[in-house]
Amino acid sequence: MKSRFRFIKSLRFRIMIILVFIGIVPSVIVEKAIVNSYEDRAVSLRSFNVKNQCDILSNQLLKEQYLQNPESEAINGELSLLSNVYSGRILIVDQDFRVIKDTYDIDRGKYMVSKEVVSCFRDGKESSSYDRKNRYIEMTVPIHTELDNETQVEGVLLISVSTEEIVASIEILEQKGLTILLIIAVLVCGFGYILAGILMKPFAKVTKAIEDITDGFQDENISVPDYTETELITDAFNKMLGRVKSLDNSRQEFVSNVSHELKTPLTSMKVLADSLVGQENVPIELYQEFMQDITDEIDRENKIITDLLTLVKLDKKAANLNIDMVNINDLLELILKRLRPIAAKKNIELILESFRPVNAEIDETKLTLAISNLVENAIKYNLEDGWVRVSLNADHKYFYVTVADSGKGIPEDSIDHIFERFYRVDKSHSTEIDGTGLGLAITRSAIMMHHGAIRVRSKEQEGTTFSVRIPLTYIV
């Protein structure tokens, strides 16, 4: 990870951003809401005040009959005072829609037939609108008389009032709001940074614990139970650690087994050679006998090394599988043909039962090795005049090979171990029946590479049956 992006990519940074977001967005919304409601309130208060003033004014106008004679000094004075106070403009329109008074003296004498004025004459109701952009409130207020419960609109007051002051107050309010927002942002950032740090601490603990194990400071399982998540991570890690440890153990065990197995023939050879060297005038017959024994030990050593190499090659993953479409019936027949001479020595009957023709995608060499080992065992661990029956069957997905014998069987407590490398049921027999204890390990590896399965059933003094199941088509 590039250190420049490290912080930006970190969960801590993300938590911080989320907190800032959660902190700032509502603050902005609240600030906007406060400013808006202040504006509404200020505008409606202003409108209410102006409306009251206008009601008083319209009564005065009627009393002074200003509409008929718009020259009254007192009223004009009051009008200009009012328009000054609100920094606005007042127009008075008579029943003919003619402007009879304009505090700006611009539109006097002109006609004013705006929608608001017309509806004011018709309904006798005042109207008010707020032009936010140009910052003024515009109102129309009817000047009306009441005669026998009937309202008569005599004229209309048109007032526009500036809202500059309100806007100025809002600007101040907004500035203060912005300052507060900035303070909140800084506080939330700092708080978020610290909080995110605290929240992330258990993860840092996990990393530290794993590093300690990697550096060899610690050997035990790690435990960070602060969060469910960290617990899951450490549990998974401990499982992996367990696997690594057991792999390491089995590797060590394998190495020590190999050394031991390779040493045994050497020790025998040494003993044989020493006894020849230590004697004077050794008869030639003894020489020949001991030399024969030494040759046998060399053969044995050779066999162990060959089997080991085979096993190591098989362990090197499926990459070097050589998959072909192979006729399994022919393959089995060939295996039996090759082993027949060995079976004949013990007068063992070798039978092949094929229930149907089977073609499958397999690695011919490796599968031949696997099945040969099984049949060879069935002959080796059999009794004189016994039998070995190999059968082949298939369904739409798998083919099945079973190797059954009439041999001495495998003791129950050994069954779970026979696939282990170098495991032989009766070590003392190993001189009697030769073998390396690697055959079944090789068989199992080869079958696993084909994504197959192998099972064994055995009864002492009755016989053993190995069942192999392999998919007809090879799946990578």
Ligand X SMILES: Nc1ncnc2c1ncn2[C@@H]1O[C@H](COP(=O)(O)OP(=O)(O)O)[C@@H](O)[C@H]1O
> Which spans of this chain sit near ligand X (rule: CB under 6 A)?
373, 377-378, 381, 405, 407-410, 418, 423-425, 435-441, 464
CB of 336 to ligand X, least distance (A): 15
The gap from C-alpha 393 to its chain's centroid, in whole angstroms, comes to 44
Nearer to ligand X, 254 or 423 (CB): 423
Nearer to ligand X, 156 or 410 (CB): 410
Q: Which long-range contacts (CB under 8 A, 24 or more apart) does 32-40 make?
A: 34/173, 34/177, 35/170, 35/173, 35/174, 35/177, 38/169, 38/170, 38/173, 39/166, 39/170
CB of 463 to ligand X, least distance (A): 8
CB of 201 to ligand X, least distance (A): 53
* 263 backbone dihedrals φ, ψ, rounded to 5°: -75, -35
Contacts of residue 434, Cβ cutoff 8 Å, sequence gap at least 6:
300, 303
230 binds, among Mg ion, ligand X, none (CB under 5 to 8 A by kind): none
Length of the chain: 476
Nearer to Mg ion, 112 or 390 (CB): 390
CB of 462 to Mg ion, least distance (A): 20
39 binds, among Mg ion, ligand X, none (CB under 5 to 8 A by kind): none
Using only C-alpha atoms, what is the Rg of the chain? 53
- Taking phi over 0 as left and psi of -120 to 50 as alpha, with beta for the rest, 65 belongs to left
CB of 441 to ligand X, least distance (A): 6
**How many whole angstroms separate alpha carbon 377 and alpha carbon 368?**
14
Burial state string for 226-247 with b = 16 or more CB within 10 A and e = fewer than 16: eeeebeebbeebeeebeeeeee
Nearer to ligand X, 161 or 311 (CB): 311
CB atoms within 10 A of CB 421: 20
- What DSSP state is assigned to residue 344? H
Nearer to Mg ion, 58 or 377 (CB): 377
Residue nearest to Mg ion (CB): 439
**How many whole angstroms separate alpha carbon 309 and alpha carbon 97?**
115
405 binds, among ligand X, Mg ion, none (CB under 5 to 8 A by kind): ligand X
Q: Residue 353: enclosing H or E segment and its boundaries? A: strand 349-354
- Counting residues that bind Mg ion (by CB under 5 A) gives 3
Footprint of Mg ion on 35-74 (CB under 5 A): none
Only segment of 12-20, 143-151, 344-352, 435-443 that touches Mg ion (CB under 5 A) = 435-443
CB atoms within 10 A of CB 273: 13
Nearer to ligand X, 47 or 458 (CB): 458
261 binds, among ligand X, Mg ion, none (CB under 5 to 8 A by kind): none
CB of 430 to Mg ion, least distance (A): 11
Nearer to ligand X, 400 or 423 (CB): 423
CB of 237 to ligand X, least distance (A): 35
Contacts of residue 232, Cβ cutoff 8 Å, sequence gap at least 6:
none
Determine which residue in the list 142, 155, 439, 463 makes contact with Mg ion, applying CB under 5 A: 439
Nearer to Mg ion, 140 or 402 (CB): 402
CB of 372 to ligand X, least distance (A): 11
In 3-state terms the chain splits into helix, strand, coil percentages (rounded to 5) of 60, 20, 25
| 377 lies in the binding site for Mg ion (CB under 5 A) | yes
CB of 204 to ligand X, least distance (A): 50
Nearer to ligand X, 366 or 408 (CB): 408
8 A C-beta contact, residue 304 and residue 261: yes
Residue window 200-239: x/- pattern of binding to Mg ion, with contact defined by CB under 5 A: ----------------------------------------
Q: Residue 334: enclosing H or E segment and its boundaries? A: helix 328-345
Residues that bind Mg ion (CB under 5 A): 377, 435, 439
